[in-house]
Chains A and B, each alone.
Chain A
Amino acid sequence: MSRILTFNIFRYNPQDPGTPPRMDRFMLDETDRMTLFIALNRIREEQDPSLMFDFCCRAGICGACGMVINGRPGLACHTKTKDLPEEITLMPLPAFKLVGDLSVDTGTWFREMYQKVESWVHTSKEFDPAALEERMDNSLAEEIYELERCIECGCCVAACGTALMRPDFLGAVGLNRIARFILDPRDERTDAQYFEIVGNDQGIFGCMGLLGCEDVCPKGLPLQDQLGLLRRKMAFTALKGIVGKHKHKHA
């Protein structure tokens, strides 16, 4: 293990108008089991302390470190340099507002998504602290968890043809969120109410089926299946014209 790695990194600080956007080049000796988390921190500490990038948990759990690594969106923390060529090009995720260098503002984008899909359990029931919890089948809890594993890293949005063309597209992450609530019997919304949110070009009918989302999802979520199911369900809801009368769920 004695490669010298070359990093080409996008640089731009919007708060420093004197300096134009550019690519900077850094050289680093590769060490055993090196990840981009280790490499970028070394570049910042040893070569350029102004370099902006985001890490938080650095364990593939929090979704902070999405960036475009040699042309492909992914999590930097679990990208090992030994899996990359000697020349590594790093760019910020597109579709999100740039904070600076490799750092983007995902928070604003996702908060808008929560409001659009109303990302919470809609229920008319009041919580009763004296009562036992409502029962749920364990296999259903596990199904919900599979969709809840999304870490909102933004890679699927960055890899989405529609999201890059129309900023109001919910993206696979937003559609997956709806699929999660459709599964959940605690959410009392009807198919008609879900249709209101996703039965349009900002939602499921905006998807061109390129499935870049599924290719890049670092958690391996079944996004292709969810998009397909949702499209079929919503098309069906639209056709039936009986929207709002029934809610189909498996409890």
Chain B
Amino acid sequence: MQTIYSDLLCIGAGLAGERVGIEAAAAGFDTVCLSLVPARRSHSSAAQGGMQAALGNCAMGEGDCPDVHFADTVKGSDWGCDQEVARLFVDTAPIVMRELAAWGVPWNRVVPGESKYFKGGKEFTKVEKKENEGLITARAFGGTAKWRTCYTSDGTGHTVLYTMDNRAAQLGMVVHDRVEAISLIHDGVRCMGAVVRCLKTGELRAYLAKATLIASGGFGRIYRESTNAVINDGGGQIIALNTGVVPLGNMEAVQFHPTGIVPTDILVTEGCRGDGGTLLDVNEHRFMPEYEPEKAELASRDVVSRWMTVHMQKGFGVKSPYGDHLWLDIRHLGIDHIRTKLREVDEICKSFLGIDPAYQLIPVRPTQHYSMGGVRTDKDGAAYGLTGLFSAGESACWDMHGFNRLGGNSLAETVVAGSIVGRKVVEYLKGCEAVFNSRVVDDAVARQAGRIKALRERTNGSENVYAVREAMFDAIMKGAGIFRNEKDLTECVETLQAIHERAGRVGLASNGLGANPELALALKIQGMVRLALCVAYGALMRTESRGSHTREDFPERNDRDWLNRTLATWPEGASLPELSYEPASKVFEIPPGDRGYGGGKIISA
């Protein structure tokens, strides 16, 4: 078996993983990044909107500063975030955007003079200052007081990831693509690296490192309908949870976006509704004004998703072979507007649905979009429970998003956390001597080899892995979707516990040789069910509504009892996670208050 040593092992080569790796590589440390796919195909590339940073260069961002960004972020989180982390983030974000500019990102820039923009389908005028010409500009996003989102057209994640991977190539940072970490190597105290399966040949390798970083993105693919890439199935969170000592934070905090297209669940931007698009039901009737007389389609993401679900539950959904959906109507915006201002939506509709949105309705439904929860770390990015283990980006619960994250804050988090955590990893490596216990390494590899053998030989049973996954999809959507209540969550947890046992009896139908995809799924299906149980059980126990977590039976945000963060660990042999709680924040720069939107009730502390 091949054993590969490095100072830093990054599991994931998207924006967060590469940014941390670059910090270490630039400091002279030997860095290896692992990736399921060639690094530039990482899901970071799919983020279109942009990155929030309070540069304040554009007219509509005038007067912006980190304090305003901080307030938006804390309100957005519904006071669930760690305020020390949110402060670090907003203060560092502008510098990181400028650094990316120096590395080659073609940010859109301020163009001086008068220009038009749309709000709620109406046209307004703004004037950009001559003295700011050529500086990084910004666009509007939901839940923000200023235009703050830096962007490159409709491909921000793509250009930043390409620049980041260029920088990695320049530094000679090693990226091994088409590999999958299937277990961490640890002795219960210290993390030493990971057991990795090659997705070209199927062979197992040991990667040993002084520091290991999990930067593997979100776990949206435990839901059937997710805007996430197919690789976002929680691999990083699973290997952390399976240590039995590393907790996952706030797993019940899951964001749904109102307009994923049906089928394939690709996102169409909020801009459709921002510019005046409407939502229609099976009778082509506009229903949102009945639920939200004032804001209608322009209420916040979580609110619109909730009402859409209610309306479909009442039987007003459009039936399709892919399940019920509603219609998004942008026809009245006119062909010119659609072909220019909504070019990306126009292309998605034509390429993936074969429809022309200037003349036809777009099939949409609320779709899982973002995981606020993940590997719980301190503000330095160090994971709880094991020394030498770090995490950054969507895979982590660092935790600047709390129970709801703002658009533009997640893509920014990848590079800002990457920069901050990268520096902390370098500090850690400077003082670090590693001793690798060969017994621990051999045992960890042997355990994974044993699992593969059992799956191929069907030693534990011959449950079909796809059937088990379907059962998990059904259970979690039913209980831990947008609306949650005690009855459905209890049933969901019980069902998932039974599915967890079935997952232990999976056996392969195919031979499992080489890069076999059935084996890849079979190796993680039980872990995926565990993540689903962390979501559902955490949601059952949290008897309040906060941000994206909506309990029909507990509609108030309860700061008296629930101004805290859920921590979930999975003891060996358990059938449920063990939950504990810590204060949401050690420091409250802004004490809990009203968000100013959403209209929810609050039980004060």
A and B: real partners?
Answer: yes
CB-contact partner of A99 in B46, B95, B178, B354, under 8 A:
B178
Cβ of B147 < 8 Å from any Cβ of A?
no
- The interface-forming segment of B129-137, B382-390, B484-492, B560-568 is B129-137
- In B114-169, which residues have CB < 8 Å from any A CB? 133-137, 152-153, 155, 158-159, 162, 165-167, 169
Query: Is A10's CB within 8 Å of the partner chain B?
Result: no
* A-contact bits for B341-361, CB 8 A (1 contact / 0 none): 000000110011110000000
Q: How far is the CB of A138 from chain B (nearest CB, A)?
A: 4
> Is B286 engaged at the interface, CB distance under 8 Å to the other chain?
no
Q: Is A114 an interface residue (CB 8 A)?
A: yes
A57-B46 contact given A32-B320, A33-B353, A133-B102, CB 8 Å threshold: yes
Segment at the interface with A among B35-43, B406-414, B571-579 = B35-43
- Given contacts A107-B178, A145-B153, whether A138 and B158 have CB atoms under 8 Å apart is no
- Residues 502 to 526 of chain B near chain A (Cβ within 8 Å): 508-511, 513-518
- Which residues of the other chain, B, contact A55 by a CB distance below 8 angstroms? 230
A186 to B263, CA, bound (A): 42
Which one, A45-53, A224-232, A237-245, is touching chain B? A45-53
Contact A48 B135 (CB under 8 A): no
> Is A114 touching B166 in the complex (CB atoms < 8 A)?
yes
Q: Are B109 and A145 in contact (CB under 8 A)?
A: no
Task: Flag A128-160 by CB within 8 Å of B: 1 or 0 each.
Answer: 010111111110011011001101100000000
* B153, A57: Cβ atoms closer than 8 Å: no
Contact B511 A50, beta carbon cutoff 8 Å: yes
Most chain-B CB neighbours within 10 Å: which of A31, A45, A123, A131?
A45
Most chain A C-beta atoms within 10 Å of own C-beta, residue among B348, B352, B466: B352
Contact B352 A135 (CB under 8 A): no
**CB under 8 Å from chain B, chain A span 41-100:** 44-45, 48-52, 54-64, 77-78, 80, 82-83, 99-100
B266 to A142, Cβ gap below 8 A?
A: no
- The yes or no answer to B200 lying at the interface (CB within 8 A) is yes
Contact B101 A133 (CB under 8 A): yes
The contact of B516 among A50, A106, A135, by CB within 8 Å, is: A50
Tell yes or no: B106 within 8 A of A by CB: yes
Report A84 CB to chain B, min CB distance, Å: 12
Measured in the bound complex, the distance between the Cα atoms of B514 and A45 in whole Å is: 18
Q: Is the CB of A99 within 8 A of B98?
A: no
In the complex, whether B559 has a CB less than 8 A from a CB of chain A is no
Interface residue A197 (Cβ < 8 Å from any Cβ of B)? no
Residue B72 is within 8 A (CB to CB) of chain A in the complex = no
Interface residue? A194 (CB, 8 A): no
Q: Does A6 contact B (CB under 8 A)?
A: no
A145 touches which of B103, B137, B155 (Cβ 8 Å): B155
- A33 close to B354 (CB less than 8 A): yes
Please state if A62 and B102 are interface contacts (CB–CB under 8 Å): no
Q: Is B283's CB within 8 Å of the partner chain A?
A: no
A120 touches B104 (CB 8 A): yes
- Which residues from 460 to 479 on chain B have a C-beta closer than 8 Å to any C-beta of chain A? 465-466
B279 within 8 A of A: no
Chain A residue nearest to B43 in the complex (CB): A57
**Which residues of A sit under 8 angstroms from B152, Cβ to Cβ?**
141, 145, 148
Residue of A44, A141, A149 ringed by the most chain B CB atoms within 10 A: A141
- Chain A proximity mask over B80-111: 1 for CB below 8 Å, otherwise 0: 00000000000000010111011110111111
Quick one: which of B245-280 are within 8 Å of A by CB? 263-264, 266-267
How far, in angstroms, from A53 to B408 measured CA to CA in the complex? 32
Q: Which of B37, B106, B111, B347 has the most CB of A within 10 A?
A: B106
A13 on the B face (CB < 8 A): yes
Partner of A110 from the list B38, B102, B159, B230 (CB cut-off 8 Å) is B38
In the complex, what residues of B have CB within 8 A of residue A196's CB?
Answer: none
Contacts of B40 in A (CB 8 A): 62-63, 110, 151-152
Contact A14 B514 (CB under 8 A): yes
Residues 202-245 of B, flagged 1 when their CB comes within 8 A of A and 0 if not, give 10000000000000000000000000011100000000000000
CB within 8 Å of B: which A16-32 residues: 16, 31-32
B134 touches A135 (CB 8 A): yes
Task: Please indicate the chain A residues that have their CB under 8 angstroms from the CB of B133 in the complex.
Answer: 135
Query: What are the residues of chain B within 8 A of A127 when measuring CB–CB?
Result: 98-99, 102-103
In the complex, the answer to whether B354 meets A80 with C-beta atoms within 8 Å is: yes
For the complex, give the distance between the alpha carbons of A57 and B97 in Å.
25
How many chain-B residues does the 8 Å CB contact rule pick out? Answer: 74
Q: For residue B103, which residue of chain A has the nearest CB?
A: A121
CB distance from A48 to the nearest CB of B (A): 7
**Residues of chain B lying within 8 A (CB to CB) of residue A123:** 102
Known: A78-B352, A127-B102, A138-B109. A13 touches B134 (CB 8 A): no
Count how many chain A residues have C-beta atoms less than 8 Å from C-beta atoms of the other chain: 70
Chain A nearest CB, measured from B346 CB (Å):
13
Cα A184 to Cα B105 in complex, Å, equals 10
The answer to the question of A193 belonging to the interface, with a C-beta cut-off of 8 Å to chain B, is no
B175 within 8 A of A: yes
A13 & B514 in contact (Cβ 8 Å cutoff): yes
Q: Is the CB of A45 within 8 A of B109?
A: no
Given contacts A57-B45, A80-B354, A136-B109, is CB(A16)–CB(B177) below 8 Å?
no
Whether A105 lies near B169 (C-beta < 8 A) is no
A200 interface contact, C-beta 8 A: no
- Partner of B230 from A56, A121, A184 at Cβ < 8 Å: A56
Please name all residues of chain A whose beta carbon is closer than 8 Å to the beta carbon of B169 when the two chains form the complex: 111, 114-115, 119-120
- A13, A37, A142: the one within 8 Å of B108 (CB): A142
Are A144 and B351 in touch, CB under 8 angstroms? no
Question: Contact partner of B170 among A120, A148, A152, CB < 8 A?
Answer: A120
- In Å, the complex CA distance between A175 and B567 comes to 50
Is A125 part of the contact surface with B, judged by Cβ < 8 Å?
yes
Asked whether A8 is an interface residue with its Cβ less than 8 Å from the other chain, the reply is: no
| Interface pair A58/B229, CB less than 8 Å apart | yes
Given A111-B175, A129-B95, the answer on whether A50 and B45 have CB atoms closer than 8 Å is no
* Contacting pair B41 A62 (CB below 8 A): yes
- A148-B515 CB under 8 A given contacts A49-B508, A62-B41: no
Q: Is the CB of A59 within 8 A of B352?
A: yes
Q: Does A162 contact B (CB under 8 A)?
A: no
- In angstroms, Cα B266 to Cα A133, docked, is 34
Complex contact A51–B517 (CB within 8 A): yes
- CB proximity of B47 to chain A, nearest CB, Å: 9
Option from B43, B109, B110, B178 in Cβ contact (under 8 Å) with A105? B178
Measured CB to CB, the closest approach of chain B to A184, in angstroms, equals 7
CA distance A197 to B556 in the complex (A): 64
Can you name 16 A-B residue pairings with CB atoms under 8 Å? A33-B322, A50-B510, A55-B230, A56-B231, A59-B264, A59-B348, A63-B40, A77-B264, A99-B199, A105-B178, A105-B200, A107-B177, A110-B38, A138-B108, A148-B159, A184-B106
Nearest 4 interchain pairs by C-beta? A15-B514, A135-B134, A107-B38, A50-B510
Q: A residues engaging B (CB < 8 A)?
A: 13-16, 31-33, 35, 37-38, 44-45, 48-52, 54-64, 77-78, 80, 82-83, 99-100, 103, 105-107, 110-111, 114-115, 118-121, 123, 125, 127, 129, 131-138, 141-142, 144-145, 148-149, 151-152, 184, 186-187
B residues contacting A by CB (< 8 A) are 37-43, 45-46, 95, 97-99, 101-104, 106-111, 133-137, 152-153, 155, 158-159, 162, 165-167, 169-170, 175, 177-178, 199-202, 229-231, 263-264, 266-267, 320-322, 347-348, 351-354, 465-466, 508-511, 513-518
